[in-house]
Structure 1
Amino acid sequence: MIRSLIALGCVVILFTGCGTKRQYFEPESVAGKVKYDQNLPAQIVDVSRHGATLENGQIITQKGIIETRLPKGFVFLGEYGDRYIATSKCGDIIIIDGSGNKIYSRTFKQGIASASLQENVLAIVDRSNQLLLLDTQKDEIYFQSRQDTVYALDARIAAPYFLNSLVVFPTLDGKVVVVDKDTGRIIRDVVVSSEQFFNNVIFLDVVDDRMVVATSKRVISINPNMTAFLDVDVKDVIVLKERVFVFTKDGRVLLTDSDLNILKERKFSFAVFSGVIHGEFIYMVEKNGFLIATDLDLRTVNIYGLPSKIDTMVYATHDTLFVG
């Protein structure tokens, strides 16, 4: 059965699927219940950092559910203006427009881990940890750099980031590599962490003059004057102006300044965060069937019960959480 959920204020949660009997987080008090309200057209079958793919080929972006449908066997990687990138397990990559028309396609020997697009430049990280820049108009690869071999990946994989005349590549072995977009020259690389397994970059964002990058074991914040580190088991990260929220695998929420100095911490014992959305408040969906709401200073917390536990895929936009 496909169901959906509408939460507080403008926050909407769409839900499909059934709960499980496993129990982790049990709050002392619950402020209320959240009810189901809307429907997803199909179940979520794949989730990336920048969107999700439904079983019927529709995609979910930061704008919500898009009517455009992907060809069978393809999953969504990202939205760039009115163009969408998708890939298959066989190494095919396509760019389509809002009507589903194919603008570009190419097949690679390796599967695609993540990709981004700016004008005619396609930036790719493949699953062998090779970095590529490709001119889609000429169908030519003009930058190619193989990084260290990886043997195990975290399912959360960040996408390349276009920053003015630069491309910032998140690698699968815990680095960021900065490349000149026009010449393909490597400008700089930075080691985020050096774990042997599951060390791919899972988060990459730039706010003003600061870049925040995370693997599953470390968060770093880089500005022109310094690089700061925070060692923690990372579940998710939110970067706002002059503050960073780090959600940990052991149920903590850390509020830091832009240099990753911890300002405040909230602990939700045994909580497993499935998704996070933010606006005026931060909402954390907990797998045992709760919605945890807190203000941006972590001063007040309200916990609401969901109709069931969550054992399906989750994707969050800035104001909506899709569970399917």
Structure 2
Amino acid sequence: MYSKILLLSFIALLFLSGCGSKQYYTPENPIASSSFTSSDEIISFSRDGATMSSGKVLTSTEELKLNLKDGYSFINKRVGSIIVADREGNCRVIRDGKTREAKFAKALIAGTMVGDDALVYILKDNNFGVYDFSKKSIIYNNKAEKVFSIDTRVANPIQIDNLVIIPLLNGKLSILDLKTLKISKEIFVSTESFLNNIIFLKRLKNSLISATPHKVIAYSNKGKREFEREISEVILDNNELFVFSKDGRIFRLDESLTIQDEKKFKFAHFSVATVYKDRVYALDKQGYLIVSNKNFTKHSVYEFPEVEGYSFVSNGKLYYDGNRIDLDTLGYN
């Protein structure tokens, strides 16, 4: 009996030691800084935008003239059409001051407009398809594997010629032919069982770049290249790809996912990151903002309040927890 108690005590001690051993990024000589503060905070965000508590919407490049209410959140903007949706399956597409509405069985969490009338959508249950506003009906629907947990930075579908690439919530890309409304190809990015949705989807030269929180792939007519890391963020800047990993590393990659430069910031946990005016910005969850050149030979660290909620970068400004930081005012030594 005594040996069992001793064993249990030893296990509990190991557990408590592990819980208390989490280590944090501790930069040398961080620059104390201040931010503009307000009561307007991010209440929801995705890959392409953030919805504020005031109802205004931020994209990566602009503030949209919207005043969202009644539980609606921003989804995407493309070819002049703004897509918003609520958690009850209601969707609105706003263009030229006119609003069209659609109703789905589950909440719409990603979508893009193709042409004037076709909405390519992804629902919360991983169903996806095409809704035709001119017919006021779904003209194509497909049921993908259900998922039970996702990263909130859900990527939106993108169109390439007559194809639309649909980033699903189970780590798969489905390529839909818009003429035949048939799946022409499926590509698995990763097959993890937890938080495995596509969080990044862009075209880089002749390659399709996609990522989940576990892996980046580059797909082209030359085949598929992979870059496997636990990922906090992926940024495409001109023809360069920047990957921010959960172990505090920042990588600069080329189209083939070959590492060009890398830098490790020990124990950093990135909340948000961007590349802006040839400078790399990465915000650690403790509020340390790293500012570096693109090959990581020079950097400075600025100290701001700790990050507690969502964060997003829009048009050279970083927003989180009611804070707004003007990136133009921050450089490196």
Give the TM-score, by structure 2 length.
0.84
Superposition map of 1:178-193 within 5 A: 178-193=175-190
Residue aligning to 1:107: 103
Hey, what's the Cα distance between the residues in 2 that align with 1:192 and 1:63?
28
Q: Which has the higher contact order (CA 8 A, sep 6+)?
A: 1
1:277·1:319 contact (CA, 8 Å) conserved in 2? no
One-letter amino acid of the structure 2 residue matched with residue 221 of structure 1: A
Task: Name which of 200, 203, 218 aligns with 2:215.
Answer: 218
Distance 1:299 1:254 in 2: 13
Q: Cα offset for 1:35? A: 2.7
Equivalent of 1:42 in 31, 40, 43 = 40
After superposition, the Cα gap between the structure-2 partners of 1:174 and 1:183, relative to the gap in structure 1 and judged at 3 Å, is same
CA 1:251 to 1:49, structure 2 compared with 1: closer, same or farther past 3 Å? Answer: same
Hey, what does 1:11 align to over in structure 2? none
1:237 aligns with 234
> In the alignment, which residue of structure 2 is the partner of 1:250?
247
Q: Equivalent of 1:314, from 299, 311, 314?
A: 311
Larger radius of gyration between Structure 1 and Structure 2: 2
Q: Which residue of 2 aligns with 1:282?
A: 280
Q: How big is the shift at 1:241?
A: 4.2
- Provide the C-alpha distance between the structure 2 equivalents of 1:294 and 1:110, rounded to a whole number of angstroms: 42
Kindly provide the amino acid, as one letter, of the partner of residue 300 in structure 2. N
Q: Equivalences for 1:57-68 in 2 at 5 Å?
A: 57-68=55-66
- In the TM superposition, what whole-angstrom CA distance separates every residue of 1:174-203 from its partner, at most 9, and x where no partner exists? 110111123212111101111112111111
- Shift in Å at residue 41 of structure 1? 6.7
Richer in helix (by share) = 2
State the partner residue of 2:155: 158
Unaligned runs of 5+ in 1: 1-21
Identify which of 303, 311, 316 aligns with 1:305: 303
**CA distance in 1 between partners of 2:78 and 2:240 (Å):** 26
- Give me the CA root mean square deviation: 1.9
- The alpha-carbon deviation at position 272 of structure 1 amounts to 1.4
Total equivalences in the alignment: 298
What's the secondary structure of 2:65's corresponding residue? Answer: strand
Task: Give yes or no for contact 1:255–1:298 (8 Å, CA) kept in 2.
Answer: no
* Alpha-carbon distance in 2 for matches of 1:98, 1:298: 44
Q: Quickly say closer, same or farther: Cα 1:320–1:98, change in 2 above 3 A.
A: farther
- Please list the CA deviations of residues 198-222 of structure 1 after superposition, one character each: whole Å capped at 9, or x if unmatched: 1111111112211110111111011
Contact 2:62 2:315 in 1 (8 A): no
Pairing 1:79-228 to 2, within 5 Å after superposition: 79-97=77-95, 99=97, 101-102=98-99, 104-119=100-115, 120-228=117-225
Q: Give 5+ residue unaligned stretches, structure 2.
A: 1-21, 322-333
Structure with bigger strand share is: 1
Do the aligned partners of 1:288 and 1:309 also contact (CA within 8 Å) in 2? yes
Secondary structure, aligned partner of 1:179: strand
Is the alpha carbon distance of 1:157 and 1:51 closer, same or farther for their aligned partners in structure 2, counting shifts above 3 Å? same
